[in-house]
């Protein structure tokens, strides 16, 4: 039995020793961390050195993938919390297979993902269990194997609970419990009474800067320093606000001006979509732009500038996937 005041034990599983070292270093201040470079090694540790409060694993590993590994963890240690991480292109394909074996009565699912209207599909998979949507506000770039450069603003996570038809959920007990877990790890967290509004507000930044950074091949500071591109940013922001309004959510001028001001003060930054494009990874076009367009269209509202940006990105992404990286 673990003493209530002792550090929780976490088992980290990844066949990449660099990532394993990075995760261990990050977490060891607040957790007792054990590492394993294979599911087989991890299962042995689970039997010999458990119980663990949390098991964190990669999806793609040789011999036994993360999903099959977590199924075995569930049998050996049903009360242990389980976290699986993977790249964005793999996420949609594994959602049903990932969630169904892990979801029991009163399970709470936390979805940390960019975009909007992504909860309904997950909600169908998990049924009546609680679904919490989360938005990560972080200004960082991966600069090498196991190396993350945090450029500005630290890291804040905003969470809100999903209710059918995107009804505001208020602040729920499940949200408070998740917030407590993050706060114990010294990660700032904000609770949102209205998840849909929070997602539209995130799009005020994500749609113009992610989209234009790819189309214009530019950093955020370059976009903001030019009168014409800054004009495009503001017009796109107002279209996002119009999309939010079509869903009964209000984003006012003060919020838009705050986003412009913070971006002007931000250190030069390549957006996540631009980095994905440069690395020839699939872009999050549908989650960020496509879903926003479709929600507005269903309400009878046209967003012409976002639609144009969406079509440009679809073409660029398609062409980008056809040409391999040099040396690959």
Q: Which tokens in the block code for residue 249?
A: 């959510």
Helix (H) / strand (E) element for 1: namely: none
**DSSP of 131-172:** EEEEEEEEEEEEEETTEEEEEEEEEEEEEEE--GGG----S-
What's the rounded Cα separation, in Å, for the pair 191 and 156? 11
In sequence order, the β-bridge partners of residue 152 are 139
104 is annotated as an active-site residue:
no
* Residue 307 backbone zone (phi > 0: left; psi -120 to 50: alpha; other: beta): alpha
Catalytic one of 202, 235, 258, 281: 202
User: Is the distance from CB of 140 to CB of 130 less than 8 angstroms?
Assistant: no
The H-or-E segment that residue 10 falls in is strand 9-13
Contacts of 290 (CB under 8 A, 6+ apart): 310
Among all residues, which ones are annotated catalytic? 202
């Amino acid at each position: 039995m673990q003493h209530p005041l002792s550090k929780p034990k976490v088992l980290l599983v990844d066949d990449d020793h660099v990532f394993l070292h990075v995760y261990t270093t990050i977490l060891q201040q607040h957790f007792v961390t054990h590492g394993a470079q294979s599911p087989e090694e991890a299962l042995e540790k689970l039997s010999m050195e458990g119980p663990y409060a949390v098991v964190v694993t990669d999806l793609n590993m040789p011999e036994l993938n993360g999903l099959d590994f977590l199924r075995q963890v569930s049998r050996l240690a049903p009360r242990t919390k389980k976290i699986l991480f993977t790249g964005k292109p793999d996420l949609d394909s594994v959602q049903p297979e990932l969630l169904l074996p892990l979801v029991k009565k009163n399970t709470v699912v936390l979805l940390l993902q960019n975009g909007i209207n992504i909860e309904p599909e997950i909600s169908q998979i998990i049924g009546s269990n609680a679904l919490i949507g989360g938005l990560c506000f972080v200004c960082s770039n991966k600069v090498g194997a196991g190396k993350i450069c945090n450029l500005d603003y630290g890291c804040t996570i905003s969470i809100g609970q999903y209710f059918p038809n995107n009804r505001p959920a208020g602040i729920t007990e499940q949200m408070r419990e998740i917030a407590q877990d993050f706060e114990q790890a010294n990660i700032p967290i904000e609770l949102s009474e209205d998840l849909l509004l929070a997602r539209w507000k995130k799009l005020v930044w994500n749609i113009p800067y992610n989209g234009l950074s790819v189309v214009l091949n530019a950093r955020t500071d370059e976009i903001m320093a030019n009168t014409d591109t800054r004009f495009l940013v503001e017009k796109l922001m107002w279209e996002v606000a119009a999309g939010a309004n079509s869903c009964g959510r209000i984003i006012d001028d003060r919020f838009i001006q705050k986003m412009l001001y913070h971006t002007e003060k931000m250190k030069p930054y390549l957006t996540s979509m631009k980095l994905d494009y440069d690395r020839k990874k699939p872009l999050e076009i549908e989650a960020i732009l496509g879903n926003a367009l479709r929600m507005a269209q269903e309400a009878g509202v046209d967003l012409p500038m976002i639609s144009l940006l969406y079509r440009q990105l679809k073409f660029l992404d398609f062409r980008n996937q056809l040409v391999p990286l040099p040396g690959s």
